[in-house]
């Protein structure tokens, strides 16, 4: 079982009650997470309130600590067989769940309680290259192998299937002859950094 780090998390974290609260779920290095944290750093109305990680060795955990954001590291049992995660989200009145490189399927109990309040970003133009196992460089390798002339990002709501939720935004970039999957990844990352925080902000500003 993974450890659960709650040293900064005292049941109900003391921040402005009127502030819109983001919970980020991540599995990896946390570059998108860090970008979102920086985007909202001086925002008086919106805050990255807590980070959830399913990987005790992921660098996103260190990013959370560096930014003094509570981090919960959990295992499959806690996510799929208990209400441990759901209860934390509900008790702290989280307004929006943001998936940022989170590789596990979100369970029904969380989806049902956060219907329309949970979003994900995928590094391709869905429905292309979506589904279980399609993430990171694997997606960009397919783009290059298939000689696609463009790719991009899809920001979408989360439902009970991988990458099948309603699309919120798609942004494109060209794929040029001779570009490697790493070249494509760099372009797509720039789109992610530019648009994901803005979509998060827009959604939260529309929540009453």
Active site residues: 122
Are the CB atoms for 86 and 110 separated by under 8 Å? yes
Token pair 């494509």 is found at 184
Are the CB atoms for 157 and 122 separated by under 8 Å? no
Mapping DSSP onto H, E and C, the string for the chain reads CCCCCCCCCCCCCCCCCCCEEEEEEECCCCHHHHHHHHHCCCCCCEEEEEEEECCCCCHHHHHHHHCCCCEEECCHHHHHCCCHHHHHHHHCCCCEEEECCCCCCCCHHHHHHCCCCEEEEECCCCCCCCCCCCCCHHHHHHHHHCCCCEEEEEEEECCCCCCCCCEEEEEEEECCCCCCHHHHHHHHHHHHHHHHHHHHHHHHHCCC
């Amino acid at each position: 079982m993974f450890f659960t780090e709650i040293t900064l998390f005292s049941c109900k974290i003391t921040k402005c009650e009127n502030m819109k609260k983001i919970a980020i779920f991540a599995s990896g290095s946390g570059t998108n997470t860090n970008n979102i944290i920086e985007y909202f750093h001086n925002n008086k109305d919106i805050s990255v309130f807590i980070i959830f990680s399913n990987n005790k060795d992921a660098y996103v955990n260190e990013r959370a600590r560096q930014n003094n954001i509570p981090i919960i590291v959990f295992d499959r049992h806690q996510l799929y067989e208990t209400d441990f995660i759901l209860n934390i989200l509900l008790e702290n009145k989280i307004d929006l769940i943001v998936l940022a490189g989170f590789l596990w399927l979100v369970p029904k109990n969380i989806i049902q309680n956060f219907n329309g309040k949970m979003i994900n970003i995928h590094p391709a133009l869905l429905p292309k290259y979506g589904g279980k196992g399609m993430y990171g460089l694997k997606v960009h390798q397919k783009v290059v192998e298939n000689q696609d002339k463009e790719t991009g990002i899809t920001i979408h709501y989360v439902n009970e299937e991988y990458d099948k939720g309603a699309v919120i935004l798609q942004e494109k970039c060209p794929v040029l002859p001779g570009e490697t999957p790493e070249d494509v990844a760099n372009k797509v990352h720039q789109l992610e950094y530019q648009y994901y925080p803005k979509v998060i902000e827009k959604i939260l500003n529309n929540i009453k």
